[in-house]
Each structure stands twice: as C-alpha cells, then as structure tokens.
Amino acid sequence: MQVRFAGIGGQGVVLAGIILGEAAAIEGLNVTQTQDYSSASRGGHSIADVIVSREPIYDLIVTEADVLVALHQLGYDTVKDSLRKDGTLIVDTDLVKPDREYTGAPFTRLAEESTGTSLTVNMVALGYLIAKMGIVKRESAVEAIRRRVPKGTEEINIRAFNVGFEEGSG
C-alpha cells in the first residue's frame, strides 16, 4: 500500500506521514516513510510518502500511489500524476479543486471548528484516511499520535483525529 500526503509547508504533512508510519510499525508491518519539501519553510510544497507492506519494501518514494491525500492545491498539482488510475483521491474540499473523481471533506474548516486551530488539519485528514481505507487500526493511530505529537498537545490532536475519523465513517 502506497500512501502519499501532499500539501504546503506548515500543514503538518510530514508529521501525518510519520504518524501513519509509526502506527504501521506498531502493528508489526514493514514501513518506509520519506519526505520531500521545497527549501521554503512555509508555503512551498510538502510531500510525505508512506509505504506499508507485509513483504520487504524496496521502493523509497511513492511512484504509483494507492491513495493521495491532498490538503492544498499546490501539493495536489505537484504530485497528482503519481496517483494510480484506480487509486483513491482524498482532498480538503475547500482548498483543492481536483480534475478527477475524489472523496473528502473540508478538513481545515473541520480542524478550526473542532479544535479552534487549523494546525490540526493533518490529524483530521489522517482520521478520515484511516476511516476510509483501513491501512492501520484506529487504536494504533491514536497510540502513534500520543508518541509523536509535541507533549501537551496529545488530546487536541486526538480530538481532531476523531473528528476526521467520524467524518470518514459516514
């Protein structure tokens, strides 16, 4: 399973990739996580790749994504060609105007409404992704969030994750 997150700097795209990877590792799956970002600290494109498999992983970057999670038009435009023809496109429906079939929700708006900050948009999108696609168990993702987010922000991030998960379960 190849998952690619695409957005812009500041949206926490890489952290979403790390947390999905950690959750897969918790379940004993083989997992490789890489990232690509432009040198701009904010505003440039930001890509995180996660490859999960029961077999040894030879790939480094996602070349044929099974799932593309796009949080911003710039990220989407940069990597949309890497999504397989029959792959799943998940987008922030307020910020990305896709030119193909997609699913998604207004992740940034949901983050602001539920946690008072758009900073948790990555967790909303992660929750939505895991509800829609499986990949890892919900409990593993929550455990991975606890391990990886800055101390003191665990609860707000898990709340955002749950909002996304409920949205994706509908």
Residues that bind another protein (CB under 8 A): 18, 21-22, 24-26, 28-35, 39, 57-61, 63
Q: To which residue do tokens 């949205």 refer?
A: 167
Q: How far is the CB of 47 from another protein (least distance, A)?
A: 13
Considering the complex, state which of residue 58 and residue 101 has its C-beta at the smaller distance from another protein.
58
Closest approach, Cβ 43 to another protein, in A, equals 17
**Cα–Cα distance measured from residue 149 to residue 156, given in angstroms and rounded to the nearest whole number:** 10
Least distance (Å) between residue 91 CB and another protein: 25
- Smaller CB separation from another protein, 36 or 166: 36
List phi, psi (to 5°) of 115. -125, -5
Nearer to another protein, 57 or 133 (CB): 57
Instruction: With CA atoms as reference, report the closest residue to 46 among 59, 37, 35.
Output: 37
User: What is the distance of C-alpha 170 from the center of its chain?
Assistant: 19
Question: Least distance in Å: CB of 61 to another protein?
Answer: 7
Min dist. Cβ of residue 161 to another protein (A): 18
DSSP result, 115-161: HS-GGGHHHHHHHHHHHHH-SS-HHHHHHHHHHHSPTT-HHHHHHHH
> Of 1 and 25, which CB lies nearer to another protein in the complex structure?
25
**Is 63 or 103 the residue whose CB approaches another protein more closely?**
63
Rounded (to 5) percent helix, strand, coil in the chain: 45, 25, 30
